[in-house]
Amino acid sequence: MNDDARAVRSVLYIPGDKPRAMDKARGLNADALIFDLEDAVAVDAKADGREGIVAALSQGGFRAMRLVRVNAADTEWADADLDAILSLPADALPDAILLPKVNGADDIAALARRLDGIDGAGSVAIWAMIETARGVLNAASIADAPGMGGFVVGTNDLAAELGCRPGQDRMALMTALQLCVLAARAGGIPCIDGVYNAFKDEDGLRTESAQGRDLGMDGKSLIHPAQVDPVNAVFSPSEDEIALARRHIAAWTEAERDRKGIAVVDGRIVENLHVAAARGVLARAGLSEGNAS
Ligand SMILES: CC(C)(COP(=O)(O)OP(=O)(O)OC[C@H]1O[C@@H](n2cnc3c(N)ncnc32)[C@H](O)[C@@H]1OP(=O)(O)O)[C@@H](O)C(=O)NCCC(=O)NCCSC(=O)C[C@H](O)C(=O)O
Ligand SMILES: [Mg+2]
């Protein structure tokens, strides 16, 4: 996975039947937007949602990556959702279709077949919601499925199916979260953490986002615009991390000049893998090695 692919820190759900929210999203700093037809849209509003998303994507003007979450394949809305989205002209198609309740690689293959042959849909990736027990257990083969672009973990659905109580430390979900990250890393795709439901609690959001970041998540899925900036901050390298990255690179460069295979910074060894990580930190901060700010 390249550094661009990792830069999906904030991923905001927008209900497809709320045109005002979709308008607002054009001016937000979210890295990706999920135009939702599934759980954010009531049963009676599914048709409005499709119409709204088609209109918004046709109008364009979104800087962020655009995903459309359709209803799950076994629902009565799935076909109409895909028909509506895939009828868009090639230049208005979303960057990805996000498929909920993915249980196995077969679900991805079925959607890939559907995309195959649609004009312009070759560039539409498939993202998977990992939010069922079966999906978590099959995460590795799902991540490896052709066409896969990334995972979004659905912690609400998962907790409901498991009958667990995640609590503040999310210990009850830890195995599942880690399996998702492991599978995504092995498959070379990004993994986006679940939503933080208490959208007015910024401290709680920051704490849970930092936990996800430390587990290896690339970003967090969000439900309200006020969550975007705090989450971007948590998933961006801090000043201290940038300064340390520069020192690692400088020490390594000097060690190489002296024909040494190892450098030492603050009493800790620095090897070439640490230097690769340091370069990744600078790339994610939008800095080059020679760039001071
Ligand atoms: C959570 C909300 C219901 C809160 O709504 P509300 O109280 O109306 O918000 P505000 O009045 O604070 O809104 C202020 C302005 O921001 C715009 N807005 C609100 N939400 C969004 C959004 N998500 N994207 C873009 N813009 C948004 C409002 O339009 C206001 O704008 P303005 O009028 O111009 O000032 C609401 O935020 C909401 O509906 N959020 C989305 C909920 C959602 O998408 N849920 C489904 C996804 S989560 C999920 O499915 C979990 C997963 O599958 C799992 O299993 O875990
Ligand atoms: Mg869900």
Complex ipTM = 0.99
pLDDT per residue as tens digits for the range 191-208: 999 999 999 999 999 999
DSSP notation for the chain: --HHHH---EEEEEETT-HHHHHHHTTS--SEEEEESSTTS-GGGHHHHHHHHHHHHHH----SEEEEEPPPTTSTTHHHHHHHHHTS-GGGS-SEEEESS--SHHHHHHHHHHHTTSTTGGG-EEEEEE-SHHHHHTHHHHHHSTTEEEEEE-HHHHHHHHT---TTTTGGGHHHHHHHHHHHHHHT--EEE---S-TT-HHHHHHHHHHHHHHT-SEEEESSGGGHHHHHHHTSPPHHHHHHHHHHHHHHHHHHHTT-S-EEETTEEE-HHHHHHHHHHHHHTT--TT---
Does the beta carbon of 71 lie inside 6 Å of ligand 1? no
| Residue 87 pLDDT | 95
pLDDT band at 276 (very low <50, low <70, confident <90, very high): very high
Does the beta carbon of 161 lie inside 6 Å of ligand 1? no
Angle at 89 between CA 88 and CA 95, to 5 degrees: 70
Please state, in angstroms and as integers, the Cα–Cα distance from residue 205 to each residue in 15, 172, 175, 208, 213, following that order: 21, 18, 21, 5, 12
Which of 63-67, 122-126, 265-269, 288-292 comes out lowest in average pLDDT?
288-292
Residue 20, annotated as binding a ligand: no
Does the beta carbon of 102 lie inside 6 Å of ligand 1? no
pLDDT of 43 higher than 90 = yes
pLDDT per residue as tens digits for the range 127-167: 999 999 999 999 999 999 999 999 999 999 999 999 999 99
68 C-alpha to center of ligand 2: Å? 14
| Residue 281 pLDDT | 93
Q: Which atom of ligand 1 is nearest to the CA of 199?
A: 1
pLDDT band at 3 (very low <50, low <70, confident <90, very high): very low
Pocket test for ligand 1, best of 24, 29, 136, 152 (most atoms within 8 A of CB): 24
pLDDT per residue as tens digits for the range 173-182: 999 999 999 9
pLDDT of 241 higher than 90 = yes
The mean pLDDT of the chain is: 95
190 C-alpha to center of ligand 1: Å? 24
CB 105 within 8 A of CB 144: yes
Does the beta carbon of 199 lie inside 6 Å of ligand 1? yes
Residue 128 pairs with which residues in a beta bridge?
Answer: 99, 151
Put simply, whether the predicted model's pTM sits higher than 0.90 gets the answer yes
| CB neighbours of residue 8 within 10 Å | 25
Residue 4, annotated as binding a ligand: no
226 C-alpha to center of ligand 1: Å? 9
54 C-alpha to center of ligand 1: Å? 19
223 C-alpha to center of ligand 1: Å? 5
| Residue 4 pLDDT | 45
Residue whose tokens read 């590795």: 140
Give percent of the chain with pLDDT exceeding 90. Answer: 92
Does the beta carbon of 12 lie inside 6 Å of ligand 1? yes
pLDDT band at 2 (very low <50, low <70, confident <90, very high): very low
| Residue 232 pLDDT | 97
**Nearest alpha-carbon partner for 104 in 81, 128, 126:** 128
Distance CA 216, CA 75 (A): 33
Contacts of 48 (CB under 8 A, 6+ apart): 16, 17, 41
Residue 131, annotated as binding a ligand: yes
Does the beta carbon of 156 lie inside 6 Å of ligand 1? yes
The full set of domains in the chain, from first to last, is 3-234 (3.20.20.60), 239-284 (no CATH)
Distance CA 156, CA 135 (A): 14
Does the beta carbon of 30 lie inside 6 Å of ligand 1? no
pLDDT of 292 higher than 70 = no
pLDDT band at 122 (very low <50, low <70, confident <90, very high): confident
Does the beta carbon of 10 lie inside 6 Å of ligand 1? no
